[in-house]
Structure 1
């Protein structure tokens, strides 16, 4: 527990969010292939390397006989323990940077069209994937939002919008409805349904983490910004109820995996289950939160990034153990034009400046559809 009077200040929490997102992303990046790197295979890899319990970045492969079963992603040499010198480039961090640039350029009144314009201007097409690539292609072809999200886009409920949401939580500390509204405006460029709800939920979760007494309170608050009947809300509540029964982390994930079977490893709903389990069973401990989340499998780098963001905001940067932040060397690699090599501390300072100028909007819902306080997609 944090002693009374020593709670992190806003600047430390914002920096904690950035460091946590980047560290969690780096932790999960070598095993980001959910149809191959299952929860069971990840733990076999860690046992072979003598790295359970996991308390640091992933170890590099042990011995020459690992074969295809334990073949890490090609970037592994830049993101395993002992080899990290600054962050690897990854879309999970690129979109946080792009979101910061969006708010600095257009302010909190930005439009969905301006999000798309900035993608075309600052983001290389080949560094986009799934729903974002479909939306980018539609933008380049002259299609305008919200049709960019629906035309020839089979990925509308995948996790891409959720990974773009952190900046809205960081810049709206303690204002989850405001954060969710901003995330929705961004998300509808490329997503619909649970894809949009995932972005709203993540933004509200991160926003709530600034003022919530604990992770469960933040999760409960985040659920209020999305329809209670949505599949996303139901799976988050399901994980929370299993956690309340004191079921083990392993058995909880096995249960929800059966209940979300068939959705695929990049869909928002099963990934939200893995993320929620990591947060609840991590119980505010930064290392335990991100390592359990990544060990949960599926979209490991995206889930690790969001878990790290939430845990980093809850704890503050100063409380993040050095093995996670020191190898980052305060440096980010990015595909966003003009931002490669930027300092993490600079990104945090610029985010803080926005958070301190964001007007107070209250904690309740804005106008919109029943159940969300916002227009539902």
Structure 2
């Protein structure tokens, strides 16, 4: 977890971010339904499958299951032993779309250009919650910021946060610049803590390139959002509980009680799960993504962001083979023109943008 020194080191860590995002997303995808797959239910499933401690992708359902452990329908292509390249998922689609945005319009892109690219590259039925509301508003001729506020009950949900990694990957060690780019993207579909979540995540990813510890990266990321926001207060709360040496389980129990009622896709409780996974994972790639996914809520989104940060901290070469090899350097994507693209190509194209104006 040393600052980036050489171009080769930077390349390894950008690739680590992409691999980590995709692996963490795949890990959490089978249990992505936070109102059903609670933290307790996930661990009961893992115990039944003799998969605790979790050190690999989720196991498939054990034979003769009579406890109703029904995974998401996509599980057959994203559990251990069945993975051949990444599954398609919006958590990866938006990273690809963000890369296309920066390649097409540069770092001076406008929010309107983000919307135009959605309409051009992204199928409507592969958008969800706030993004689908914004897409519908775009198709009906509305312009930002009305695209985020008109008939959109999901304005503070996690969608903008999952779009933010590309801005951190392309601005290593520049968290404020990364946050500014993420904000310009986020206001197409989100307001309030939804926008702050994107800014915080972009800054966190950026800071991971140069911060000496994950704790320091989290602290730096907080500087880009209002200290009085509920998001900032919740992240600081998790950090303070970790500092008291409270267990991971007790920390999540405490914070889940304090954020009760926000729902399992809201930015704030998911940021708490993500922060806890990063802190208690303490820079270890496997421990970070498995703790984050075991924390529940929006498991694939949280796993993806945790994996991105952890992959940057370790670099691609240090990500264990059980996470990398099944991906076969291949991404399935709904973004037009990108299905089947190589992960290594995405990382190389990302690296080419670093230092651009």
Give the superposition deviation at 1:6: 10
SS in 1 for 2:339: coil
User: Which segments of structure 1 move beyond 6 Å, counting only runs of 4 or more?
Assistant: 4-8
TM-score with structure 1 setting the length:
0.93
1:266 maps to which residue? Answer: 265
Cα distance in 2 for residues equivalent to 1:92 and 1:177: 23
> 1:1-377, aligned counterparts within 5 Å?
9-68=9-68, 70-355=69-354, 357-359=355-357
Give the superposition deviation at 1:8: 7.2
1:208-246 deviations in Å (ceiling 9; x for gaps) = 000010100000000000000000000000000000000
Cα distance in 2 for residues equivalent to 1:206 and 1:319: 18
Cα distance in 2 for residues equivalent to 1:13 and 1:314: 7
Cα distance in 1 for residues equivalent to 2:213 and 2:56: 24
Cα distance in 1 for residues equivalent to 2:41 and 2:137: 37
Cα distance in 2 for residues equivalent to 1:52 and 1:67: 18
SS in 2 for 1:80: coil
1:282-305 deviations in Å (ceiling 9; x for gaps) = 000000000000000000000000
1:370 maps to which residue? Answer: none
Cα distance in 2 for residues equivalent to 1:63 and 1:85: 22
CA 7–46 in structure 1, closer or farther in 2 if over 3 Å, else same: farther
SS in 2 for 1:204: helix
1:322-352 deviations in Å (ceiling 9; x for gaps) = 0000000000000000000000000000000
1:33-88 deviations in Å (ceiling 9; x for gaps) = 000000000000000000000000000000123453x1000000000000000000
- 8 Å Cα contact 1:172/1:358 also seen in 2: no
| Structure 1: runs of 5+ lacking an equivalent | 360-377
Give the superposition deviation at 1:5: 9.2
SS in 2 for 1:37: coil
CA 155–226 in structure 1, closer or farther in 2 if over 3 Å, else same: same
- 8 Å Cα contact 1:194/1:231 also seen in 2: yes
Cα distance in 1 for residues equivalent to 2:227 and 2:275: 16
Cα distance in 2 for residues equivalent to 1:5 and 1:102: 27
1:73-105 deviations in Å (ceiling 9; x for gaps) = 000000000000000000000000000000000
Cα distance in 1 for residues equivalent to 2:294 and 2:89: 19
| Structure 2: runs of 5+ lacking an equivalent | none
Cα distance in 1 for residues equivalent to 2:356 and 2:208: 17
Cα distance in 1 for residues equivalent to 2:226 and 2:246: 27
1:150-172 deviations in Å (ceiling 9; x for gaps) = 00000000000000000000000
SS in 1 for 2:22: helix
1:96-120 deviations in Å (ceiling 9; x for gaps) = 0000000000000000000000000
Cα distance in 1 for residues equivalent to 2:311 and 2:263: 28
Cα distance in 2 for residues equivalent to 1:82 and 1:64: 19
- 8 Å Cα contact 1:8/1:315 also seen in 2: no
Cα distance in 1 for residues equivalent to 2:182 and 2:137: 20
Cα distance in 2 for residues equivalent to 1:37 and 1:106: 40
